[in-house]
Amino acid sequence: MSKKILITGGAGYIGSMLATSLIKLGYTVTVVDLLKYNSNSLSHLYFFEKFKLIKEDVRNMDIMKILIKKHDIIIPLAALVGAPLCTKYKSLAKTTNFKAIDDIMKIISKKKKVIYLTSNSGYGVGKKNKFCDETSELNPISLYGKTKCDAEDSVIQHKNSICFRLATVFGCSYRMRSDLIVNNFVHRSLNLKKIEIFEPHFRRNFIHIRDVVNGIIFSIENFDKLKSNIYNLGLSTANITKLQLVKKIKQHNKNFKIKVIKNRKDPDQRDYFVSNKKIEKKGFRASISLDDGIKELLIYFKHNKEKILNNY
């Protein structure tokens, strides 16, 4: 079993949860992160000898060359995440989300294993009554989606790689995000007592953050069976519309109002259902329900009264 894992952006929403799980499993983990959003998301790991944090920019290829040589598996998570943040910092998004990944792939040796996470936002607007699978045409409608799709193209040329197209993630993390749609809606239901939605028929697939981590661990443990492939990674029972999501939250927290705003476009125009059959046939199935995630988030936000925190 490969023991040494390098995670870029490992102090982030997914990275902090992943690094924690890998340390618990006995892996040696090095995280490269600038700690822009939370300087304490990995502090619970400082005790462990097998954990190391390097505060550095992943675009610094002199540093990355040295680190890549010392590790067996590379998991490049560092990115500007989400359409609004990438629109605000276009140049930084291009150099971090795509160029840094492309540069890594140019210097990496054939024997190194790479696990790359992108977003299924690359599907853009899916066809009605049809699920997007890994053969569906990509049509990213944001700079974020485009940079991630371009990076995926670069990674998959490396035969020793696995690419996951993530559904929209929800759930609690050491580096919490309240701007993601499920997290955000639950926060609003508690603190604003109302949820306003535009274009309620828009479809989306979701996945709990712990299932994302479990999916990555599954790919590490079954690398040879999965490599040289792209997989959608989502919860198959969580292909729902925005209105269905809000109604589901209402089942667990009745004390808020739902307001559907007509004749107004949602800034996020993604609209698709996603098939996760390919990864399920390989042996991994996401299992944490939206209901369990909503209950978790309601407890979290009841005890954490901060305002909605956006990356941008």
Q: How far apart are CA 82 and CA 34, in angstroms?
A: 18
From the list 283, 276, 160, 275, the residue with the least C-alpha distance to 229 is: 160
pLDDT greater at residue 125 or residue 137: 137
**Mean pLDDT of the chain, nearest integer:** 93
pLDDT tens profile 217-254: 999 999 999 999 999 999 999 999 999 999 999 999 99
Under 8 Å between Cβ of 135 and 187: no
Please compute the mean of the pLDDT values over residues 118-137 and round it to a whole number: 83
The C-alpha R_g of the chain, in whole angstroms, comes to 19
From the list 174, 175, 249, 163, the residue with the least C-alpha distance to 206 is: 249
Under 8 Å between Cβ of 41 and 234: no
Please compute the mean of the pLDDT values over residues 287-306 and round it to a whole number: 94
Q: Using 50, 70 and 90 to split pLDDT, how confident is the model at 269?
A: low
In the three-class reduction of DSSP (H, G, I as helix; E, B as strand; rest coil), residue 52 is classed as strand
Please compute the mean of the pLDDT values over residues 284-295 and round it to a whole number: 98
pLDDT tens profile 31-66: 999 998 889 999 999 999 999 999 999 999 999 999
Q: How open is the CA angle 79-85-89, to the nearest 5 degrees?
A: 85
Residues 6+ apart with CB under 8 A from 239: 131, 203, 204, 205, 273, 274
Determine the pLDDT at residue 310. Answer: 62
Under 8 Å between Cβ of 82 and 309: no
Please compute the mean of the pLDDT values over residues 126-141 and round it to a whole number: 84
Structure tokens at 76: 């490049």
Please compute the mean of the pLDDT values over residues 202-215 and round it to a whole number: 96
Percent of the chain at pLDDT exceeding 70: 96
Q: How far apart are CA 209 and CA 288, in angstroms?
A: 9
From the list 90, 213, 34, 232, the residue with the least C-alpha distance to 152 is: 232
**Domains along the chain?**
4-170+206-235 (3.40.50.720), 181-204+237-273+288-303 (3.90.25.10)
pLDDT tens profile 188-208: 999 999 999 988 998 999 999
Cα distances (Å, whole numbers) of residue 227 to 100, 106, 145, 161, 189 = 22, 18, 23, 5, 41
Q: What is the pTM of this model?
A: 0.95
pLDDT greater at residue 8 or residue 312: 8
From the list 105, 217, 108, 110, the residue with the least C-alpha distance to 152 is: 105
Determine the pLDDT at residue 123. Answer: 85
Determine the pLDDT at residue 311. Answer: 59
Determine the pLDDT at residue 225. Answer: 97
Q: How far apart are CA 91 and CA 179, in angstroms?
A: 22
Is pLDDT above 60 for 121? yes
Please compute the mean of the pLDDT values over residues 122-128 and round it to a whole number: 75
- Find the distance separating the first CA and the last CA of the chain, reported in whole Å: 39
In the three-class reduction of DSSP (H, G, I as helix; E, B as strand; rest coil), residue 64 is classed as helix
